[in-house]
Amino acid sequence: MDSRTAQILIVDDDHQLRQSFERLLAAEGYAVRTASSGEAGILAVREAVPDLVVMDVRMPGISGLEAYAAMREFEPRLPVIIMTAFGTTDIAIEATKMGAYDYILKPFDIPEILKLIEKAVAAGRSMRSRVAVGEEGEAAVAADAIIGRSQAMQDLYKAIGRAAPTDATVLIRGESGTGKELVARAVYQHSLRADKPFLVINCVAIPETLLESELFGYEKGAFTGATGRKVGKIEQANRGTVFLDEIGDMPLSIQAKILRLLQEQNVERLGGRQVIPVDVRIIAATNRDLEAAVRAGQFREDLYYRLKVVTMAMPPLRERPGDIPLLVRYFLARYSREMGQPDPGVSDEAMALLTTQPWPGNVRELGNTVKKALIFNLGAPLGPDEVQKASGEPLRGGGPAEADPGDSLARYVRRELASGRESLFEDLMDRFGLLVIREALEATGGNRSQAARLLGLSRPTLLAKIEKYGLRIESRVRQSDS
């Protein structure tokens, strides 16, 4: 994914609000432009398309809704968050139905809008960041890429090419870290819906109690706290594509509604009786054995057959070791470019070590290892010692194994489990999160940008966690923390 600083355009006739947004978002690491009217916002988008627009509904001249329609005509995949007062929520809902990413009510909660902005920027980049399929060299380095010459990968490229121009439902199967979301994005970008919304829903990341309302929306009074109408992501993505990641873990009650969507192409909001027709293409992915889940009664058999109209398999990295050198060179070139440093290359010994590993975390784990090795590289080709250190655990063929630190960690967790304390899971996660972030900051001399790259977090996310844990950053920063 593109690692450059996200560009955000604020469109509002309130000078004080624009200034507040500028200060807030600049402190979070975003680049901010502002416009005082809908007309000025349209000109700003045509001048340089941002990653996100945050726009008021009511302004002198044309309304935010009219401005959004013009922006969408110029760049249909541009995510827009609509700001509205309580009295104009119907207009904001209409904008959402037109394809706006979301809306937020004034006055808004700062942590809430920061979280929404981070999600919207990621969604926009998913739609607009090109996925190179089977390419190598400069073309691949400049984009997210699906790389490999093995027969399994050649079969995958053919399947993407054949399925993408159709409206067929696609099921992508493979272990965690193999790149299933990249395949989903590639199918979307080569489809006839490539200029329409592409929304990603992680069925595991969203709590079960919220997943149904996230997907289908709700009417006012549908449940406690439902103070107004909310358009669901499926309705919002009308004429576009919805990617349901980790669908194998979706609750059975929601599976029934997804089956109805696939069969009848309509939805009902929670608490509503109106049947809403939608035209969406569904791409789903899972790392679970769906056949076993069907036999165990954990996954609907009728939904399983509806999903597997086209099935694409992502092979684990251990089954295509010949692709590892290609991936290592891709990651070296890509991350070197992102860090603004020359590509140091890799020694034959280090490459041999990397090629012989089982990589249980697959391509994601390999990429993270290369990235961590690069952060502390001094310019020479990566060697076996750097690769071993970046891995964080002894690699096969890399010398005698040290004691597994996971053993002592497991003993500590067992002791805590015996304590019977309430909120134990949250306490442990916070304790481990604090430890990991403190060690990353220590390793980077307090440089938050480097620490974020080391941890695989966005800089705004890391800053939020530093604030949450009350960490004090020492002044001994080794280099500019921009």
Residue span(s) of the chain under CATH 1.10.8.60 come to 320-391
8-19 residue pLDDT tens: 999 999 999 999
Confidence (pLDDT) at 399: 40
Q: Find the helix or strand (DSSP H, E) in which 127 lies.
A: helix 110-128
| Residue 65 dihedral angles phi and psi, to the nearest 5° | -65, -45
Mean pLDDT of 76-96: 80
**CATH T-level topology, domain 415-469:** Arc Repressor Mutant, subunit A (1.10.10)
Is this prediction's pTM over 0.85?
A: no
Mean pLDDT of 452-464: 85
Distance CA 377, CA 204 (A): 36
Q: Judge whether residue 404 has pLDDT over 50.
A: no
Q: Judge whether residue 401 has pLDDT over 50.
A: no
Mean pLDDT of 373-384: 84
Residue span(s) of the chain under CATH 3.40.50.2300 come to 7-128
The larger pLDDT score, comparing residue 42 to residue 388, is at 42
For the 7-128 domain, the top CATH level (class) is alpha beta
DSSP character at residue 440: H
Alpha helices for 316-423 (secondary structure H) = 324-339, 348-355, 362-375, 384-391, 405-417
Residues 6+ apart with CB under 8 A from 439: none
CATH number (3.40.50.1980, 3.30.70.20, 1.10.10.10, 1.10.8.60) of 320-391 reads: 1.10.8.60
- State percent of the chain over pLDDT 90: 50
Confidence (pLDDT) at 440: 83
Q: DSSP string covering 347-359, please? A: -HHHHHHHHT---
Residue span(s) of the chain under CATH 3.40.50.300 come to 133-315
Residue 89's pLDDT band, with cuts at 50, 70 and 90, is: low
> Is it true that domain 133-315 has CATH number 3.40.50.300?
yes
Burial 184-203 (b: 16+ CB within 10 A, else e): bbbbbbebebbebbbbbbeb
253 C-beta neighbours (distance < 10 Å), count: 10
Confidence (pLDDT) at 109: 85
Residues 6+ apart with CB under 8 A from 413: 428
Q: Judge whether residue 243 has pLDDT over 90.
A: yes
Cβ(451)–Cβ(440) below 8 Å = yes
- The radius of gyration computed from the CA coordinates of the chain, to the nearest angstrom, equals 24
Confidence (pLDDT) at 478: 39
Q: Which token pair is 82?
A: 């609509």
Strand-pairing partners, residue 97, are: none
| Residue 16 dihedral angles phi and psi, to the nearest 5° | -65, -40
Confidence (pLDDT) at 419: 62
AA identity, residue 16: Q
Q: What angle do CA 224, 81, 448 make, to 5 degrees?
A: 100
AA identity, residue 415: R
Confidence (pLDDT) at 158: 94
Residue span(s) of the chain under CATH 1.10.10.60 come to 415-469
The larger pLDDT score, comparing residue 53 to residue 465, is at 53
Residues 6+ apart with CB under 8 A from 380: 344
Residue 409's pLDDT band, with cuts at 50, 70 and 90, is: low
Cβ(363)–Cβ(183) below 8 Å = no
Confidence (pLDDT) at 423: 66
307-365 residue pLDDT tens: 999 999 999 999 999 999 999 999 999 999 888 888 999 998 889 889 888 899 999 99
Confidence (pLDDT) at 480: 38
Cβ(46)–Cβ(38) below 8 Å = no
Q: Minimum mean pLDDT among 230-234, 238-242, 247-251, 407-411: which range?
A: 407-411
Q: Judge whether residue 29 has pLDDT over 80.
A: yes
Q: Which of 247, 69, 84, 92 is nearest to 174 (CA)?
A: 247
List the 102-105 sheet strands across, edge first: 31-35, 7-11, 52-56, 80-84, 102-105
Q: Report the number of secondary-structure helices (H) and strands (E) in the chain.
A: 21, 16
275-301 residue pLDDT tens: 999 999 999 999 999 999 999 999 999
Q: Judge whether residue 221 has pLDDT over 90.
A: no
Residue 388's pLDDT band, with cuts at 50, 70 and 90, is: confident
Residue 460's pLDDT band, with cuts at 50, 70 and 90, is: confident
Residue 425's pLDDT band, with cuts at 50, 70 and 90, is: confident
Q: Judge whether residue 456 has pLDDT over 70.
A: yes
Confidence (pLDDT) at 400: 38
For 463, half-sphere exposure in the C-beta direction (CA atoms, 13 angstrom radius) is: 17
| Residue 55 dihedral angles phi and psi, to the nearest 5° | -135, 140
The larger pLDDT score, comparing residue 196 to residue 89, is at 196
DSSP character at residue 196: S
Cβ(302)–Cβ(264) below 8 Å = no
Q: Minimum mean pLDDT among 184-188, 292-296, 422-426, 469-473: which range?
A: 469-473
What's the length of the chain? 482
Provide the pairing of β-strand 217-218 with 266-267.
Answer: unpaired
Distance CA 233, CA 257 (A): 14
Handedness of CA 119, 123, 129, 132 (dihedral sign): positive
AA identity, residue 48: A
Mean pLDDT of 183-188: 96
Mean pLDDT of 467-476: 61
Mean pLDDT of 121-145: 80
Q: Find the helix or strand (DSSP H, E) in which 53 lies.
A: strand 52-56
AA identity, residue 271: G
Q: Minimum mean pLDDT among 61-70, 112-121, 214-223, 401-410: which range?
A: 401-410
Q: Judge whether residue 119 has pLDDT over 80.
A: yes
Confidence (pLDDT) at 48: 94
- On the 0-12 / 13-18 / 19+ scale of CB atoms within 10 A, 166 is middle
Confidence (pLDDT) at 370: 94
Residue with tokens 């891709």: 330
Residue 397's pLDDT band, with cuts at 50, 70 and 90, is: low
Residues 6+ apart with CB under 8 A from 137: none
Residue with tokens 């995510």: 79
Mean pLDDT rounded to a whole number for the chain = 86
Q: Judge whether residue 259 has pLDDT over 50.
A: yes
